[in-house]
Amino acid sequence: MQTFESSIDDWIQNFLSKPSKIFNNLPPCPYAKKAWLDKSVLTHWLDNTFEIKLWISAEIENYTYHWPKGKEVVVLGFNPSRITPEELSKIIDDTKSMLDERGFVALEDHPDDPEVVEGIKLNHGTYGLVLIQEKEKLNTARAWLEKKNYYKNWAKEYKKEVQDR
């Protein structure tokens, strides 16, 4: 069985880093591979130790208060059967003011809530994820992608939803 961390490695190496015409010949996530290879991604598996809804909220608060040195992204992973996509979105919505105050953003990824651009499913697919990163760096990356016409095939509503997170 593939471990959580090795599945993230596989997703980054074999999907997120492969150029696609859909993204104007850029990869779905042009920054993922470098961050992964630079060891600036921290993965944290949330097992069955605690109730998942409370644990996700607690870890978002913890990591944004005590940001790990040298890390660009923290990836919380969990069994998606432990929480619905709606419950996960509510947690992210409920933590938004704290995240904004601290200068971070949390992006949710649930296999039962597909994120699709022109037929390409962007989700990890196996695990539920919350990706935490500094908002300013994310906005800088989004601005660069905008200049590269990365979003040209995105539905306007989906683009707005993603960029408003």
CB 130 within 8 A of CB 92: yes
C-alpha span between 110 and 86 (Å, rounded):
9
DSSP type of residue 63? H
- ∠ CA 151-145-32, nearest 5°, is 105
What is the residue-averaged pLDDT of the chain?
A: 95
Identify residue 108 by its one-letter amino acid code. E
Q: Which residues contact 11 (CB under 8 A, 6 or more apart)?
A: 124, 125
The answer, yes or no, to whether residue 13 has pLDDT greater than 80, is yes
CA 60 to chain centre: 13
Q: What is the pLDDT of residues 139-151, one digit of tens each?
A: 999 999 999 999 9
The answer, yes or no, to whether residue 136 has pLDDT greater than 60, is yes
The answer, yes or no, to whether residue 77 has pLDDT greater than 60, is yes
Q: Domain limits of the chain?
A: 4-163
The answer, yes or no, to whether residue 158 has pLDDT greater than 90, is no
The answer, yes or no, to whether residue 97 has pLDDT greater than 90, is yes
